[in-house]
């Protein structure tokens, strides 16, 4: 019975992925057919050749999300230490929730004027900067639980033994924070990867990320290219989930086992 339940659960979990993959290989699907009439690699071939623009969007999205997650993780880790030891720590942590009070589109509309004045409106740098407004606060909130009296005592011990701030980070803080940093990096990558509202508003449709391409093809009723874009969109989360299970779980075990 348990085996049957596991098989059913596995089928339910894998069905959306298999369905999208099947649609990306199909063509000429009309009523009353249950499956496409023709199976072809045409859409995937155009992806490799750059004919449909999805390859460029994939590279752009990967570069954007990687840059945002690296910057946001580094800045939030450094900033979270300052916030954790500040006398008004709770006030700063409450302020970090502010970007999530509004929907991303409303937040983008509030910031739109400043991006226009700065010349970042409709540019990749503007989208990257806009996404930092929602990823850095998340990182601050995530790392807020990392800094405690034990971390502070370890840091002060380095100073007592003649070390400096750089040595405290390199020898103590960064090694102990590695699992948390990697987890935060993955989560911020996914936030940037699936972000639509800010990217659409600040990028003015000129920064064609993969998320925007999916919605564009859905609006155009191009289900086959929409399926192809969706397959590409879900690949990084699947890979990150595998990495999280294979490596991060082991790292967390190493650093929490006495």
CB 98 within 8 A of CB 137: yes
Please tell me the total count of domains within the chain: 1
Residue 4 has pLDDT above 90, yes or no: no
Measured distance CA(164)–CA(158) in Å, rounded: 7
Does residue 5 belong to any structural domain of this protein? Answer: no
Q: What's the rounded mean pLDDT across residues 204-215?
A: 87
Confidence (pLDDT) at 76: 94
Q: Give the domain extent around 201.
A: 55-210
Tell me the pLDDT tens digit for each residue of 150-174.
888 888 888 888 888 888 888 888 8
Measured distance CA(9)–CA(15) in Å, rounded: 10
Confidence (pLDDT) at 256: 45
Pick the most confident of 27-31, 37-41, 51-55, 122-126. Answer: 122-126
Does residue 245 belong to any structural domain of this protein? Answer: no
- pLDDT range class, residue 258, cuts 50, 70, 90: very low
Please state, as a whole number, how many other Cβ atoms lie within 10 Å of the Cβ of residue 164.
Answer: 10
Measured distance CA(93)–CA(222) in Å, rounded: 44
Computed on alpha carbons and rounded to an integer, the radius of gyration of the chain in Å comes to 22
Confidence (pLDDT) at 139: 93
Residue 255 has pLDDT above 50, yes or no: no
Does residue 168 belong to any structural domain of this protein? Answer: yes
Does residue 230 belong to any structural domain of this protein? Answer: no
Does residue 149 belong to any structural domain of this protein? Answer: yes
Confidence (pLDDT) at 128: 94
Q: What's the rounded mean pLDDT across residues 213-234?
A: 87
Confidence (pLDDT) at 1: 67
Does residue 50 belong to any structural domain of this protein? Answer: no
Does residue 16 belong to any structural domain of this protein? Answer: no
- pLDDT range class, residue 245, cuts 50, 70, 90: confident
Q: Which residue has the higher pLDDT, 257 or 157?
A: 157
Q: What's the rounded mean pLDDT across residues 13-42?
A: 79
pTM for the predicted model, two decimal places: 0.85
Please state, as a whole number, how many other Cβ atoms lie within 10 Å of the Cβ of residue 126.
Answer: 25
Residue 47 has pLDDT above 70, yes or no: yes
Does residue 169 belong to any structural domain of this protein? Answer: yes
Q: Give which of 181, 204, 11 is closest to 120, Cα–Cα.
A: 204
- pLDDT range class, residue 136, cuts 50, 70, 90: very high
- Residue 164 belongs to domain with CATH number: 1.10.3720.10
């Amino acid at each position: 019975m348990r085996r049957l339940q596991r098989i059913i659960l596995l089928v339910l979990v894998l069905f959306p992925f298999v369905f999208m993959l099947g649609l990306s290989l199909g063509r000429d699907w009309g009523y009353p057919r249950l499956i496409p009439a023709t199976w072809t690699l045409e859409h995937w071939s155009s992806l490799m050749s750059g004919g449909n623009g999805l390859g460029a969007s994939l590279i752009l999205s990967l570069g954007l999300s990687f840059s945002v997650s690296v910057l946001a993780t580094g800045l939030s880790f450094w900033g979270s230490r300052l916030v954790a030891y500040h006398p008004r720590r709770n006030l700063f942590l409450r302020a970090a929730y502010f970007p999530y009070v509004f929907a991303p589109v409303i937040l983008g509309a509030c910031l739109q004027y400043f991006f226009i004045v700065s010349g970042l409106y409709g540019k990749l740098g503007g989208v990257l900067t806009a996404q930092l407004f929602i990823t850095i606060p998340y990182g601050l909130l995530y790392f807020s639980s990392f800094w405690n009296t034990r971390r502070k005592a370890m840091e002060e011990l380095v100073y007592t033994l003649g070390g400096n701030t750089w040595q405290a980070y390199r020898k103590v803080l960064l090694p102990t924070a590695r699992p948390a940093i990697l987890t935060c990096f993955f989560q911020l990558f996914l936030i940037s990867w699936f972000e639509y509202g800010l990217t659409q508003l600040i990028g003015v449709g000129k920064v064609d990320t993969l998320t925007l391409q999916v919605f564009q093809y859905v609006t155009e009723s191009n289900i086959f290219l929409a399926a192809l874009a969706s397959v590409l969109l879900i690949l990084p989360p699947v890979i990150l989930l595998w990495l999280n299970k294979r490596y991060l779980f082991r790292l967390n075990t190493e650093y929490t086992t006495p």
